[in-house]
Amino acid sequence: MIRRHTRALMPLAALTIGATAGAVSLTGMAGAETTGTAGAATTGVVRTGAGEDGYSSSSRPSFNFGASDTLVAGRSGADTMVTYLKFTVANPGPGATVKNAQVVLTRESKALPNTLSLSRVADTTWTEKSLTAKNDPAIGAVVSNAKPKSDAATVTFDVSAVVKGAGTYTFAVTSRVANTPARFRSSEAATGKPSLNLTVARPAATKPPVEATPTPTKPAPTPSKPAPTPSKPVATPTTPAPTTPAPTTPAGGCAVDAKLVPSCGVLWGAAAGGFSDVPRDEALKTFEQKSGRTSTIYHTYHKGDELFPTKNEIAMTSDPANPRTLMLNWKVGYGTKWANVANGDQDARIDRLSTYIKTNYGTKKFFMVLHHEPENDVVATAGSGMTAKDYAAMFRHTVLRMKANGVTNAVFVVAYMNYEKWNNTSWWGDLYPGDDVVDWVGVDTYNNAQPGGFHTGDFNYMMNRTNAPAKFPGWYTWATTKHPGKPIMVAEWGVYDSSTVVDGKNKANVFATVLPQLAKMPQIKGLVYFETAKDQNGHDIRMDDTPEALAAFQKIAADPRFNVKI
């Protein structure tokens, strides 16, 4: 009881530290901006994601929030919430010296309090799945204070005095500010996950690895880019025979119908410049120039009360020399729960966007994805407002409301994660909103090009992988069996290479399997590449990170099956 009273006065989030070398997991080099001259030391940044994170709530002492994509720290009335973070840092290499270390958290929503503290936590045995206010570890001395602006995108804590090298480090974030709890993105979030960033100096003779991939202590599913687990099957990319013929295209080309389904061929698209500050339209134009083809589908992302399509997005679909259509991803339930949207609590938000679309985009057809990759946000507990059935109800309500508002040009897409952990759950099938409100069935899926690595395989593996065929037959098989009348949209796809030293032929080998295997999947009518130099797990998903990869990708883009007129 004494500890609980003491805790109530502490600031927002907490950190625990223990230097158990046996607990260390391999972390990557962040794409490693190395500096220095010949014969001199080089420096680089090593980023480690949180292996465990969660928060406790004094007014809900038995609640566990380990599966939430949000971390909360601070005070709201009589409720005191504390965020806990655990990082396992790998050995940065022989002779390496940690120059400084920072914990970086991304604001999820709401205004930040003007003071936050990061404290040391001695206990490293806690887990996010069991963390509650009844058993949360004691908070130690404050390591770092931050005074962020209320709308700051990120909050950084200097932990250089504590983090000197490999080990397991646990922290707590807290705040004394009344009624202004901070909300950060957790490691379950699609983007902006917590990270511990080390600036490391290395002797000139020691070459840092080009990139290494974390071995997380828990699955870290992402939009899109789920972290693989050892239980997943491994497949080896198979380079197809060069004689595999491409589907023939009519002399007049392929066209689309009222639901943007092509009469033949496949729609080609991209979401370029992800996780960067480059404007998306500029990034897409660069992507098109490098790949050699206009991206018929221009994929962008929006949430909450944002109005779209924006002026720049509209301009991109008004270029007669480069005809494009939009794929707009909208998290209509941002800042609330799916059940609340389904119950009509966000009808004003839906109505406002409906009016904007009718006024600014007329009747031009576009794809709309409602809350992509919902699996990552499901809270399966009945009454949570975020169950799989709540998602389906949210999707249905939003579609029907927009149609009732007179929005006739939206083509609705449901986009799954293709992550085995979620596919095998008992609730996964409950996510589907219904054939009457779903126009296309979509999937976000990624492969590792590292030979023998986890989630390594060819294009067929990317679309149809499974680690429990009795529970789930593979995504493409599921879609074509359960929804044979629906066109399939590969709403995001990409290839990264987790090899310690990236070999250009690895990604090229995977790209070489796309065309022949795509020809055997006729229900796929849209293929949209997600391009980023570094996703939330540090993966480089650019199609041109090596000359070999670019050359192989250009062969895909040049294929005539993508000559679809919109």
Catalytic status, residue 282: no
**CA nearest 96: which of 240, 230, 200?**
200
Alpha-carbon distance 513 to 517, whole Å? 6
Is 547 exposed, middle or buried (CB count within 10 Å of its CB: 0-12, 13-18, 19+)?
Answer: exposed
Alpha-carbon distance 47 to 415, whole Å? 29
Q: What is the DSSP string of 303-333?
A: ETT---S-HHHHHHTS-TTS--EEEEEEETT
Scored b (16 or more CB within 10 A) or e, 516-545 reads: bbbbebeebbbbbbbbbebbbbbbbbbbbb
- Which of 108, 188, 492, 531 is catalytic? The answer is 492
**CA nearest 271: which of 526, 561, 551?**
526
Alpha-carbon distance 519 to 271, whole Å? 23
CA distance to 260, 261, 363, per residue, from 410 (Å): 10, 13, 9
Output the 3-class SS for 504-541: HHHHHHHHCCHHHHHCCCCCEEEEEEECCCCCCCCCCC
Alpha-carbon distance 400 to 354, whole Å? 11
Type and span of the H or E element at 7: helix 2-7
Catalytic status, residue 373: yes
Type and span of the H or E element at 548: helix 547-557
- Which of 373, 375, 420, 531 is catalytic? The answer is 373
The partner residues of 329 in beta bridges, in order of sequence, read: 301, 369
The partner residues of 255 in beta bridges, in order of sequence, read: 565
What 3-state DSSP class applies to 146? strand
Q: Is residue 495 a contact partner of residue 529, using CB atoms and an 8 Å limit?
A: no
Alpha-carbon distance 498 to 519, whole Å? 28
Q: Is residue 466 a contact partner of residue 423, using CB atoms and an 8 Å limit?
A: yes
**Two tokens at 381?**
């507990």
Neighbours of 289 (CB within 10 A): 10
Rg (CA), the chain: 24
Single-letter code of the amino acid located at 404 = A
**Two tokens at 241?**
């025979």
Neighbours of 176 (CB within 10 A): 16
- Active-site positions read 373, 492
